[in-house]
Structures are given as C-alpha cells and as structure tokens.
Amino acid sequence: MSNPVIKIFRISILILISIFLNTAADAQYQKAAQVPPMGWNSYNAFGASVNENEVLQNAGFMKTHLKSFGWNYIVVGYCWYFPFAAALSDPAQADGFTPWLTMDKYGRLFPAADRFPSAGKSKGFKPLATKIHRDGLLFGIHIMRGIPRQAVAMNMRIKGSKYHAKDIADTSSTCTWLNHMYGVDMDKPGAQEYYNSLFELYADWGVDFVKADDISSPFSEKELAAIRKAIVHCGRPIVLSLSPGETPIAKAEVVKEYADTWRISNDFRDNWNALQLMFSLLNTWESQAGPGHFPDADILNIGMLARRGPVGEQHRSNLTRNELLTMITLWSIARSPMMIGGDLSMIHNYELQLLQNKAVLEVNQNSSGNRQLFRTENQVAWIADVPGTGEKYLAVFNLGESGQFIPVDLKSIGFDGKCSVTDLWSGDTLGQFESAVRPEVLPHGARLFRISVY
C-alpha cells in the first residue's frame, strides 16, 4: 500500500501547480494589450460587406507603409458571416432565417464563402489569418454577443457539453439594431461551454483580436466575464475590445478587469461636433488608462470612408486637415486605441504622413500619467509623462474658429528653470523657454510638444 502521507503530499503539490498555472494564465491573458492596439478596421470603409481581397489589399498596404511605424492589427468588421451583404447597413435576417448563415454543427458561425473564398470547406478564417501573420501582422474579427437565433431554432448541441442551444439562449435578450443573435443566460449549464467553444475556434483560426459588440451599452456583465474566461481557457492571448459605447463609467473597474479596451462613445463620425465631444469623454475616462486596459475613442475617421456602408455615400473624411491632426493628437495623448477607418488603398499622402510620425505615435504607445491639464471655452491642454525621464508631453488644442495663442505655465507642470521644447509634429526644436510657453494654434488645430530641462 502507498504511504498516505506521500499521497497527500503529491496531491498538495498538484493543487499548487494547478493554482500557479491558472494564476499565470490569468496574468498573461489579462495583459494581452500592454499598449493601445494600432491597426485597421474594415467597418468605416466597407460596413458589413468587406471581402477577402479587400482585407488583403489593406494588409499589404499596412505591411509596406505602416508596419514599421507600429501599426499591426488587421480587423475584419461585423457580419463577416453574412452572404451577399452588398452595401446594406445592419443587414437583417428575414423570416425563415433568410439568408441562411454558415455555421458548424455546434452553432458557431463561419465566414461567408462568397466573400471569403479561402474559408470554404470549413476552414474558417485560418487561411486568411495565416496570410496576415506571414506579413508580420496580427488578425482580428468582430463578433456579436450571444448565440445565433438560427442555431437556437435548430437547437444545435453545445460543444463540450450535453446541452443544446435552447438550453442556454435568453430569447428576451436581443440587439436593437441587428437581429442575428439571442443573448446567453450565463446562469444556465452549458452557457460557459458555449463561449469556450467559440474562443477555442477563434484560437484555432489564429485570431489575435476580438471586438465584441452589443455588450457594453447596454452593459452585459455576465457575458463579458464569460468571454474573458473563454479567452483564458482557449490558451491564446487575444485582445478583447468592447463595443459600442458609452460604456458606463460606473463599470470602470469591471471593464478594466475583463477587457483590454472598451468604447467610451457611440460610433464616432467624421464631423467636428463628434470630435469636440471626445474631449470631454476622454477626460472622464483619463484615470482608467494603463497596461491591459485602455478606454477607446473609436475608429479614426481618416481617408476614404463609406465605400459600401456603413453610413452614407462614399466620401473622403469630412474632417479638415487641422481636425485630422487634432484627432490623432488627442487619441495619442489620451492613449486611445487607434484603428484606421478608411480604405488604405485610397489614402492620400498627407493622410499617410499623419499616420507615420514616430514621435507622435510614441506618445500613444509609451507615456503615463495622461490627463487634461486645463480646459477653457475654446482652449484645451493635456499633459503626460515620458517614462524614465523628467520630461513631459504637452498637447494644446484650439477648439475655436480663429487662430489663438495658448499659454501654458511651465511651473504648473513641474519645470522651474530653463526648458527645451520640441514640436513633435514638425520635428523642430523651438529653443529655450522659461516660466511659460505660448504656442500659436490654428483653428480646430493642435500642437504636440516634448518638454525637457535644458
């Protein structure tokens, strides 16, 4: 007979190893986004209709022109499982589940093969993700919260359990603007297994980023927690981004625990009023940004938008050049994720140059203590620390309709003596300053500086 003391000792060791591995896994996957993700999302240019060739064209452009500047995510927007979507906005399934969506025997949606030919024969997004990865880029997809209504109607079995779709579906929980899904009742057995099965599939495909929609407004905490558990369970470090907004500020600690990024607004559109609103929203969330948890000001409306949806006719961003510079400066100093919305294959040179400024992008990727310094009627200033130095980043914004000088007291940001000021957009060293700086800022424009002791 075996020694009972030795047996107990062995069991104790196994328990400790299990606890250690689970703790390590939690730490690893909670921190998938150590810095704000930077990339391209197909939604603002192609709505529900992007196809494989367009994804690869944009990935190719990113590899050639943007990868070396830190841009690396290629994200396929919503409804990738919907066939023949054309330019429909929020395409609905008609009665009888028309069109019929492709899914496996476990009720998991697969890409529409007419739009993503490499996904045929049950290959899913694996071939496309492999191509993206070969270019040194990362691959992401958009998903809707819940389980397909079609899977519930067919009562398909939940992988890894004895339960079926009808056992876990909450048919009273539906999205108000897209009718493809029911919510999942997380108090029902089989519910967590369903989400586990989804992320096992996404991990097998090679997905690096998931944008989960219809989850943060209205806020679905139990399904959010289930998705995080599924990510940990799948064994692949996947960035979890929540949509749409406004995410309730009262849920800040919850989203910081479960998500890597979360939307703080409804869909951001390419107009000055929407951009002005983002100043107050980012100010509200400024203390919540840090490694593994970044408030998301939404997709950058730059370049050619609405080629086939989601809203309006094809057009280049309605934001002026000053406003585009303001947008990228604000997203950078506030450390928002940055996903390009326009079709990269049609980008203009001046737009591309705004996306290729390494000094500006470094503010987004590597700064701390980011916060609004002051705001008056038409003037805004943000400040941030340059880690490991005594230096500061300073962004000033002119919300008015005419040029203005915006004074900033250098003592108020920690500088008592002479300072050296560098303009990060132009790269020019502006010289020595003492007590204050007073940069001129164009209407609807911005300036971004790095300040150091002289």
Identify the three-state secondary structure at position 70: coil
Q: Is there a contact between 190 and 163 (Cβ–Cβ < 8 Å)?
A: yes
The pLDDT, as a whole number, for residue 9 is 52
Place of tokens 């064994």: 235
Q: Is there a contact between 398 and 379 (Cβ–Cβ < 8 Å)?
A: yes
The pLDDT, as a whole number, for residue 4 is 53
Asked whether residue 182 carries a pLDDT value surpassing 50, the answer given is yes
pLDDT tier at 231, thresholds 50, 70, 90: very high
pLDDT tier at 40, thresholds 50, 70, 90: very high
Asked whether residue 3 carries a pLDDT value surpassing 90, the answer given is no
pLDDT tier at 31, thresholds 50, 70, 90: low
The pLDDT, as a whole number, for residue 84 is 86
Asked whether residue 21 carries a pLDDT value surpassing 90, the answer given is no
pLDDT tier at 14, thresholds 50, 70, 90: very low
pLDDT tier at 88, thresholds 50, 70, 90: confident
The pLDDT, as a whole number, for residue 27 is 43
Asked whether residue 335 carries a pLDDT value surpassing 50, the answer given is yes
Asked whether residue 271 carries a pLDDT value surpassing 90, the answer given is yes
Closest by Cα among 369, 291, 335, 336 to 31: 291
The one-letter amino acid code at 246 reads E
Give dist(CA 449, CA 405) in Å, integer: 15
The pLDDT, as a whole number, for residue 26 is 44
Q: Which residues pair with 181 in a beta bridge?
A: 148
Closest by Cα among 441, 450, 426 to 323: 441
Residue 268 CA from chain centroid, whole number: 13
pLDDT tier at 196, thresholds 50, 70, 90: very high
The pLDDT, as a whole number, for residue 29 is 46
Asked whether residue 17 carries a pLDDT value surpassing 90, the answer given is no
List phi, psi (to 5°) of 172.
-90, -10
Instruction: For the chain, list the domains and their CATH numbers.
Output: 31-366 (3.20.20.70), 373-453 (2.60.40.1180)
The pLDDT, as a whole number, for residue 6 is 55
Kindly state the average pLDDT of the residues 26-43: 80
Kindly state the average pLDDT of the residues 235-247: 96
Q: Is there a contact between 41 and 78 (Cβ–Cβ < 8 Å)?
A: no
pTM over 0.85: yes
List phi, psi (to 5°) of 94.
-80, 175
Q: Highest-confidence range of 6-10, 85-89, 118-122, by mean pLDDT?
A: 118-122
Share of the chain above pLDDT 90, in %: 91
Asked whether residue 248 carries a pLDDT value surpassing 90, the answer given is yes
The pLDDT, as a whole number, for residue 89 is 87
pLDDT tier at 13, thresholds 50, 70, 90: low
pLDDT tier at 19, thresholds 50, 70, 90: very low
pLDDT in tens, 272-300: 999 999 999 999 999 999 999 999 999 99
Give dist(CA 48, CA 42) in Å, integer: 9
Q: Is there a contact between 441 and 381 (Cβ–Cβ < 8 Å)?
A: no
Give dist(CA 152, CA 154) in Å, integer: 5
Q: Is there a contact between 70 and 361 (Cβ–Cβ < 8 Å)?
A: yes
SS3 content of the chain, % helix, strand, coil (to 5): 35, 25, 40
Give dist(CA 222, CA 321) in Å, integer: 42
List phi, psi (to 5°) of 385.
-90, 145
Q: Is there a contact between 329 and 357 (Cβ–Cβ < 8 Å)?
A: no
412-428 b/e (C-beta count within 10 Å ≥ 16 → b): ebebeeebebbebbeee
Asked whether residue 20 carries a pLDDT value surpassing 50, the answer given is no
Q: How far is CA 55 from CA 66, 141, 166, 358, in A?
A: 15, 11, 35, 25
pLDDT in tens, 342-375: 999 999 999 999 999 999 999 999 999 999 999 9
pLDDT tier at 22, thresholds 50, 70, 90: very low
